């Protein structure tokens, strides 16, 4: 982290799902002194690993893999208690036919790919072959892989694709299997930055929580804004946002801990990490 920087750098996932958090920050409804840096989840994970951000929205699996490097921001996450609508497995045939078949997975995602691997292996007993690629590009070229893991805005656009009549919402799949909410993303603080900028980071976390409250109180206004450059209309966008949860409380923490346990069981992490939070005061 350059000593010349005067502002804390806050990572922002470049998808619509964080609009309720970042719109009030970027439009001045919640005052702040942060430099906001946008990227897809995989990019933000790498930037946090390299110490290029002070705090950021990140894949929950990034925290699980390197808990010694991070602290969790209290009561702030991206999750769902059912259908998430923006993390979808699209298949040409039922999911049970995917054994030995290719599933195209975006390089932008880490948590969603890990969740899909767990669901296929442990729930459906299917051994699919994951291949990294750009689904929108391949579909435009007439390529039709047997399965596609679509996330973020791409999932919202592809969920009604005629070539893929079978749509599995991973948030709903997880809920039906475990009875728990799923947490796709968390906000984390770099531990090394915490030692040097504790007071400023505490202020930044309070600003994020204020932005979350503003977003929840003005969600209907944000639906229309988000729908302007989407194939979804305002009502569909409201349905999408209403299905998301930005809390990280007892029930969400139970879901997160269960996911981490399954990551350990499947060998994707070495052990279940403790959940260590930064203090707001």
On whether residue 245 sits in a domain, the answer given is yes
Which of 269, 206, 217 is closest to 61 using CA atoms?
269
Residues 43 and 159 grouped into a single domain: no
- Domain's final residue, options 178, 194, 221: 178
For 40-76, how does the pLDDT look when each residue is reduced to its tens digit (9 = 90+)? 999 999 999 999 999 999 999 999 999 999 999 999 9
Task: Please check whether residues 141 and 222 belong to one and the same domain.
Answer: no
Residue 194 and residue 162 share a domain: no
6 token code pair: 């005067």
Domain count, the chain: 2
Instruction: Assess whether pLDDT exceeds 70 at residue 4.
Output: no
- The 8-class DSSP code of residue 26 comes to H
Q: How confident is the model at residue 231 (pLDDT cuts 50, 70, 90)?
A: confident
Which tens digit of pLDDT belongs to each residue from 176-215? 999 999 999 999 999 999 999 999 999 999 999 999 999 9
Examine the pLDDT at 245 and tell me if it is beyond 80.
yes
- pLDDT reported for residue 232: 86
Same domain, 185 and 232: yes
Same domain? 102 vs 60: no
For residues 169 and 185, membership in a common domain is answered with: no
Last residue of one domain, picked from the residues 161, 178, 195? 178
Q: Write down the pLDDT at residue 107.
A: 81
Give the range of the structural domain holding residue 247, as residue numbers without chain letter: 8-79+181-265
DSSP 3-state percent helix, strand, coil across the chain (nearest 5): 45, 20, 30
Name 11's Cβ contacts closer than 8 Å, sequence gap at least 6.
Answer: 37, 38, 39, 44, 47, 48, 53, 55, 56, 57, 58
On whether both 58 and 190 belong to a single domain, the answer is yes
Q: Kindly indicate the confidence band of residue 6, based on its pLDDT and cuts at 50, 70 and 90.
A: low
Confirm whether 275 is domain-assigned: no
Task: Give yes or no for a contact between 266 and 122, defined as CB atoms under 8 angstroms apart.
Answer: yes
Please tell me whether residues 72 and 100 are part of one structural domain.
no
Quick one: 186 and 65 in the same domain? yes
Q: Tell me: the pLDDT tens digits for 95-125? A: 999 999 999 998 887 899 999 999 999 999 9
- Residues linked to residue 186 through DSSP beta bridges, in sequence order: 58, 77
- Domain contains 274: no
Write down which residue in 129, 161, 178 finishes a domain.
178
Classify residue 18: in a domain, yes or no: yes
CATH number for the domain harbouring residue 259: 3.40.190.10
Tell me: pLDDT of 250 over 80: yes
Q: Which two tokens stand for residue 51?
A: 């110490």
Q: Which of 121-155 are b and which e, b meaning 16 or more Cβ less than 10 Å from the residue's Cβ?
A: eeebebebeeeebebeeebeeeeebbbbbbbbbbb
Residues 92 and 174 both lie in one domain: yes
* Contacts with 196 (C-beta within 8 Å, 6 or more apart), sequence order: none
In a domain, 255, yes or no: yes
Sheet holding 244-245, edge to edge: 34-39, 8-13, 55-59, 182-190, 70-80, 244-245
**Side-chain-side CA neighbours of residue 147 (13 Å):** 27
User: Residues 133-185: pLDDT tens digits?
Assistant: 999 899 999 999 999 999 888 888 888 889 999 999 999 999 999 999 999 99
CA distances from 226 to 20, 113, 269 (A): 10, 25, 35
Are 49 and 109 in a shared domain? no
Is-above-0.75 flag for pTM? yes
Same domain (yes/no): 108, 124? yes
């Amino acid at each position: 982290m350059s000593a010349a920087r005067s502002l804390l750098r806050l990572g922002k996932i470049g998808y619509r799902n964080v609009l309720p958090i970042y719109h009030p920050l970027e439009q001045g409804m919640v005052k702040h002194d942060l430099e906001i840096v946008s990227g897809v989840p995989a990019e933000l994970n790498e930037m946090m690993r390299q110490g290029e951000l002070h705090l950021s929205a990140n894949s929950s699996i990034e925290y699980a893999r390197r808990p010694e490097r991070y602290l969790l921001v209290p009561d702030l996450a991206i999750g769902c208690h059912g259908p998430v609508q923006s993390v979808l497995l699209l298949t040409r045939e039922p999911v049970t036919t995917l054994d030995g078949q290719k599933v195209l997975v975006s390089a932008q995602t880490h948590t969603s790919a890990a969740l899909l691997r767990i669901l296929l292996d442990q729930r459906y007993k299917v051994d699919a072959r994951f291949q990294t690629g750009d689904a929108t590009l391949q579909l435009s070229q007439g390529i039709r892989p047997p399965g596609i893991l679509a996330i973020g805005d791409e999932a919202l656009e592809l969920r009604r694709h005629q070539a893929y009549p079978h749509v599995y919402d991973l948030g709903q799949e997880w809920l039906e299997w475990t009875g728990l909410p799923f947490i796709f993303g968390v906000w984390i603080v770099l531990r090394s930055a915490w030692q040097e900028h504790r007071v400023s980071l505490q202020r930044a976390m309070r600003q994020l929580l204020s932005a979350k409250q503003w977003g929840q109180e003005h969600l209907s206004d944000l639906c229309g804004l988000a729908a302007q450059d989407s194939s979804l209309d305002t009502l569909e966008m409201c349905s999408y946002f209403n299905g998301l949860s930005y809390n990280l409380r007892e029930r969400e923490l139970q879901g997160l801990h269960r996911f981490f346990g399954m990551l350990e069981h499947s060998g994707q992490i070495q052990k279940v990490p403790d959940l260590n939070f930064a203090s707001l005061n």
